[in-house]
Amino acid sequence: MSLSLQTLGFGHTRTSPLRLSQQFMSPSAIISSYPSPRFQKVGPVVADTSADNKDVLIERLNDLVHRLSTDHSLDDRLVSKLHSEVDNFEIVMIKADISQKLDKELAAGKGETLFSGRKDGIRTPKTPTRKVSIPMPDSVSRSPPKKQEMNTEVATKIAEEAEALATQLSKSIAELQQRREEADKIHDLLITRIETSAEQILFLEYHIAEMEDDYEANQSELQFLRIQLQAIQTQYNELLPQNRDEELSESIRNWKIDWEDIDRRSKARRKRGQDSNERMESEVSLSVK
């Protein structure tokens, strides 16, 4: 079937090839050929945006990001709605990029590469009936992530269990602290008793040593008494003056001197022992109290 200028929507006036290519491949025609229905709801992108408006927009977006990062009580429905709005923002930016790219290519004369051949003096596209398919970015086609939040009842139950566990731990720590204090008291009491027992042992050892000294002194005294008895018996035999023994008389005198010395040392030792016993008994009584 042949196509005439009237069926294509053109009059009999002469039209330049560049103008015809702009009519066939305008940015709005390419964007309208997208299969996604979201592009039909967005209006044309304004190309001439001032720097001030851009700064204001960036500041508003930064404020929105800050609020989203600090507010942890957002509902899932509100988050999903914000995702859809962000998808619309991305679509607007994609359309603006495509429109600017096509305008630059058409202005530079690169649009002629999209057409081939002439028919009745008019350039026709290679595939006029096929729609141009441009792949969509992953950020547009990707579904927004679902944020999983903990159920309120589960969170309350976990909080109650954690509080009960903390109370139980505090109680266990208090009991352990009390047992430790009791163990320290028992340890101190045992140390005191051990020290007292050690002092008593020392006192008994000293007393035993004194008793041994007394025993030895008594044995020595008994021996001297026996010698004295023998001397007395000998002196009774002085009825005969010619039988008097000078050596025996000297021994008797020496025995008397030794006896006085032993008696003096024995009395002094007994006195020291009594004083020491009284002092040890007082110290033991004070330590026990």
Residue 85 lies in a domain: yes
Q: Is residue 3 part of a domain?
A: no
In the predicted model, what is the mean pLDDT of residues 18-39? 40
pLDDT band at 288 (very low <50, low <70, confident <90, very high): low
Please identify, among 132, 149, 166, the residue that sits at the C-terminal boundary of a domain: 149
d(CA 276, CA 272): 6
Residue 286 has pLDDT above 80, yes or no: no
What one-character DSSP code corresponds to residue 44?
P
Instruction: Mark whether 44 and 169 lie in a shared domain.
Output: no
Question: Do residue 144 and residue 208 come from a single domain?
Answer: no
pLDDT at 46: 46
Residues 267, 164 share a domain: yes
Residue 285 — very low, low, confident or very high, per pLDDT cuts 50/70/90? low
Dihedral angle, C-alpha 176, 177, 181, 184, nearest 10 °: 70
End-to-end CA distance of the chain: 129
Q: Is the pLDDT of residue 189 over 80?
A: yes
Per-residue pLDDT band for 241 (boundaries 50, 70, 90) equals: low
220-259 burial, b at 16+ Cβ within 10 Å, e below that, comes to eeeeeeebeeebeebeeeeeeeeeeeeeeeebbeebeeeb
Structure tokens at 22: 């702009």
| CA separation for the pair 31, 136 (Å, rounded) | 12
Which token pair is 77?
A: 């429905």
Within-domain flag for 4:
no
70-97 in b/e burial notation, b at 16+ Cβ within 10 A? eeeeeeeeeeeeeeeeebeeebbebbbe
Name which residue leads in pLDDT, 268 or 191.
191
Q: Of 287, 214, 284, 224, give the one whose Cα is nearest residue 254.
A: 224
For residue 211, being part of any structural domain is answered with: yes
d(CA 107, CA 101): 10
Pair (51, 90) in one structural domain: yes
Q: Which residue has the tokens 């030895």?
A: 216
pLDDT tens for 61-92 read 888 888 888 877 777 888 888 888 888 888 88
Let me know whether 245 and 128 are in one domain: no
How much is the average pLDDT of 24-39? 41
Residue tagged 């004369």 (tokens):
109
Output the pLDDT for position 172.
94
Residue 215 confidence class, pLDDT cut points 50, 70, 90: confident
For residue 209, the 8-state DSSP code is H
Is residue 75 domain-shared with residue 131, that is, in the same domain?
A: yes
Task: Pick the more confident residue, 114 or 221.
Answer: 221
- pLDDT at residue 103 tops 90: no
Are 184 and 129 within one domain? no
Do 173 and 134 fall within a single domain? no
- Specify the higher pLDDT residue, 281 or 171: 171
Report the mean per-residue pLDDT for the chain: 69
Say if residues 29 and 119 touch (Cβ distance below 8 Å): no
pLDDT in tens, 116-171: 444 444 444 444 444 444 445 444 445 444 445 557 888 888 888 999 999 999 99
Based on the domain organization, do 100 and 177 belong to the same domain? no
The more confident residue out of 25 and 235 is: 235
Same domain, 170 and 189: yes
pLDDT at 7: 36
The percent of residues in the chain predicted with pLDDT above 70, rounded, is 58
DSSP calls for 109-144: TGGGGGEEEEETTEEEESSTTSPP--PPPHHHHSPP
Say what the pLDDT of residue 237 is. 64
Q: What per-residue confidence (pLDDT) applies to 36?
A: 42
- Do 206 and 84 belong together in one domain? no
C-alpha–C-alpha distance, residues 227 and 172, integer Å: 81
Cβ atoms within 10 A of the Cβ of 37, count? Answer: 7
Domain boundary among 100, 122, 149: 149
Residue 273's domain spans which residues?
155-288
pLDDT of residue 287: 57
Instruction: Provide the percentage of residues in the chain whose pLDDT is more than 90.
Output: 13
On the question of pLDDT at 244 being above 70, the answer is no
Residue with tokens 């141009």: 132
* The two three-digit tokens of residue 142, written as one number: 């990707």
**Beta strand 122-125 pairing with 115-119:** antiparallel
Beta carbons within 10 angstroms of residue 102's beta carbon: 19
Which pair of tokens denotes residue 199?
């002092």
Over the range 182-198, which residues count as b (16 or more CB within 10 Å of their CB) and which as e?
eeeeeeeeeeeeeeeee
Three-state secondary structure along 55-116? HHHHHHHHHHHHHHHHCCCCCHHHHHHHHHHHHHHHHHHHHHHHHHHHHHHHHCCHHHHHEE
Domains in the chain: how many in total? 2
